[in-house]
């Protein structure tokens, strides 16, 4: 029995090693770039936010983004917003958009529910599997994640590929000095022996490169930083039929 188990593990290692070797030389898959939207709010200066990334001893990458304060936005608003994000539409000044397109004017493509939450909650919720297509400057990004935790305090998304866990992204919301603070901690890579080292090397050199990570952090700050301009008005309409909301730029926070 032990020989069979060892042989199976060895075969798995060889197969995944071959997959990584092949993927190393393949071009990264592209995503469709939707036309940019002209939206009536400014994009925050990402340089004002605290951002960092480090390499862990096992080759994984840890990326931490401390978002700018979010005046007028509460943790329960953030949780509601993310739950709505894959399923809601918004009519803004007479033009209908997926809510995801308002979250970033130039770098969001598609976001959808692949597998609904077990309890039937629509949108992003605990147990749901979500897929996204977006880009960070010149770097396309798409992935699928299981939402393993979801509450007014934050959420955790577990990214998987080829049956392996390749990252954990933790969103945490808190109130400090009457302001909502929002921190995202992403740990990218695998802790598996041998296979993990191969996968981590691939991710560092082909996906989450030193050129891509700063663009990703910039993107995060820009998308979250616009929420004070429209999220309170959206939240006031919670319960709207068919998850469809109506906004007028003249009624929004400048």
Low-confidence stretches of the chain (pLDDT < 50) are 4-5, 11, 14-27
In total, the chain counts a number of residues equal to 254
Which residues make Cβ contacts (< 8 Å) with residue 136, sequence separation at least 6? 107, 212, 215, 216, 218, 219
Half-sphere exposure of 36 (CA within 13 A, CB side): 8
How far is the C-alpha of 57 from the C-alpha of 247, rounded, in Å? 48
How far is the C-alpha of 212 from the C-alpha of 208, rounded, in Å? 6
pLDDT at 13: 52
- Buried/exposed 197-209: b ≥16 CB within 10 Å, e otherwise: ebbbebbbebbbe
pLDDT at 28: 57
pLDDT at 5: 44
pTM: 0.89
pLDDT at 3: 56
pLDDT at 113: 99
How far is the C-alpha of 113 from the C-alpha of 77, rounded, in Å? 20
How far is the C-alpha of 11 from the C-alpha of 17, rounded, in Å? 10
* Domains in the chain with CATH codes: 48-251 (3.30.530.20)
- Give burial (CB, 10 Å; 0-12/13-18/19+) of 7: exposed
pLDDT at 243: 97
pLDDT at 1: 59
How far is the C-alpha of 134 from the C-alpha of 107, rounded, in Å? 6
pLDDT tens digits for range 170-218: 999 999 999 999 999 999 999 998 888 999 999 999 999 999 999 999 9
Q: Which two tokens stand for residue 248?
A: 């007028």
pLDDT at 27: 46
pLDDT at 231: 98
């Amino acid at each position: 029995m032990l020989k069979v188990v060892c042989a199976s593990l060895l075969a798995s290692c060889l197969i995944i090693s071959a997959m990584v070797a092949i993927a190393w030389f393949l071009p990264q898959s592209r995503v469709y770039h939707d036309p940019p939207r002209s939206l009536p709010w400014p994009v925050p200066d990402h340089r004002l936010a605290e951002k960092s990334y480090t390499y862990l001893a096992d080759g994984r990458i840890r990326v931490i983004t401390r978002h700018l304060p979010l005046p007028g936005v509460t943790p329960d608003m953030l949780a509601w917003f993310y739950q709505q994000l894959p399923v809601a539409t918004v009519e803004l000044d007479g033009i209908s958009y997926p809510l995801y397109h308002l979250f970033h004017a130039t770098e969001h493509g598609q976001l959808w529910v692949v597998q609904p939450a077990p309890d039937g909650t629509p949108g992003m919720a605990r147990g749901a599997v979500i897929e996204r297509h977006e880009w960070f400057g010149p770097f396309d990004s798409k992935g699928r994640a299981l939402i393993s935790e979801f509450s007014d305090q934050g959420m955790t998304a577990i990214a998987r590929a080829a049956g392996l866990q390749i990252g954990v992204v933790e969103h945490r919301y808190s109130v400090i000095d009457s302001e909502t603070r929002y921190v995202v901690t992403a740990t990218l890579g695998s802790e598996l022996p041998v296979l993990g080292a191969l996968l981590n090397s691939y991710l560092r050199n082909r996906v989450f490169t030193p050129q891509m990570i700063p663009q990703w952090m910039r993107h995060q700050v820009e998308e979250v930083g616009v929420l004070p301009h429209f999220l309170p008005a959206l939240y006031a309409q919670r319960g709207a039929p068919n998850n469809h909301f109506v906004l007028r730029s003249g009624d929004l926070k400048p």
